[in-house]
Every structure is written in C-alpha cells, then in structure tokens.
C-alpha cells in the first residue's frame, strides 16, 4: 500500500510559468515532509521541507504548502527555469524531532520545463 502518492508521473511547463507538483499521503502519523529533486545519474538532492505545525514554507522560488485535513502537499516553483527539469520526489517521515525513521517516498514526478 502506497502511503505517499504522486499521481502525475510527468508534468510539462513553459519556462517562466509556475510549476505545481502535488503529493498525497495516507498515514496520519507523518509529521514532516520533504521534497527532493533528482537528476539522472545523481542521488536525490534536498529542496525544501515543512513540518506539520506549519502550512507553508518558502525558500526563494520554491514554496511548499501543506493541507493536513486533506493529507495533501504541493510544491510551487515560480518562475520555472530550464535547470528545474528533473524528477521531483515527495517524502514523508513519522519522526517527531528525534525519533528514528526512514523516509517514505512517492514514486516521483518528472518535470519538464519547455523553452
């Protein structure tokens, strides 16, 4: 049973526009969420995170929104740039600031930024 779902395997967006990547989760014990970006032949690279006590976190062009009641989070990239083309993974953790847990990952969304 997939506890973290990214329902769009791929997404194509024009350069300069907003990219919105979505993620749903089913486990109500998750309290920390992260987005990772992955280029071919490299490991995932941390992008941005959010804890369950917040509903928004912003870092430059990247903003993550968390809707706990809907068990949904989204990553907004504004404006989208060609270097943003990559696979984006949503990940979740049940650790509460000191617990021990591996991350549960979605299967990823391949974002393609069109010139």
Partner 1 sequence: DSGVTQTPKHLITATGQRVTLRCSPRSGDLSVYWYQQSLDQGLQFLIQYYNGEERAKGNILERFSAQQFPDLHSELNLSSLELGDSALYFCASSPRGGWDIQYFGAGTRLSVL
Q: Where on the chain is the footprint of partner 1 (CB under 8 A)?
A: 32, 34, 36, 41-46, 49, 51, 89, 91, 93, 95-108
Q: Which of 75, 88, 76, 91 is nearest to 25 (CA)?
A: 91
In contact, 71 and 24? CB cutoff 8 Å: yes
**Helix H or strand E encompassing 93:** strand 86-93
Closest approach, Cβ 16 to partner 1, in A, equals 29
- Residue whose CB is less far from partner 1, 53 or 115: 53
93: β partners: 32
- Residue whose CB is less far from partner 1, 74 or 95: 95
Closest approach, Cβ 104 to partner 1, in A, equals 7
- Residue whose CB is less far from partner 1, 15 or 58: 58
């Amino acid at each position: 049973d997939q506890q973290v779902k990214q329902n769009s395997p791929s997404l194509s967006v024009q350069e300069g526009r907003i990219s919105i990547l979505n993620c749903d989760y089913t486990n109500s014990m998750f309290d920390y969420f992260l987005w990772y970006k992955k280029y071919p032949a490299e490991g995932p690279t941390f992008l941005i995170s959010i804890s369950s006590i917040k509903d928004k976190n912003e870092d430059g062009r990247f903003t993550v929104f968390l809707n706990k009641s809907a068990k949904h989070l989204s990553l907004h990239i504004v404006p989208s740039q060609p270097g943003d083309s990559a696979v984006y993974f949503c990940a979740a953790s049940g650790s509460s600031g000191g617990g021990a847990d591996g991350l549960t990952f979605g299967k990823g969304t391949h974002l393609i930024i069109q010139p």
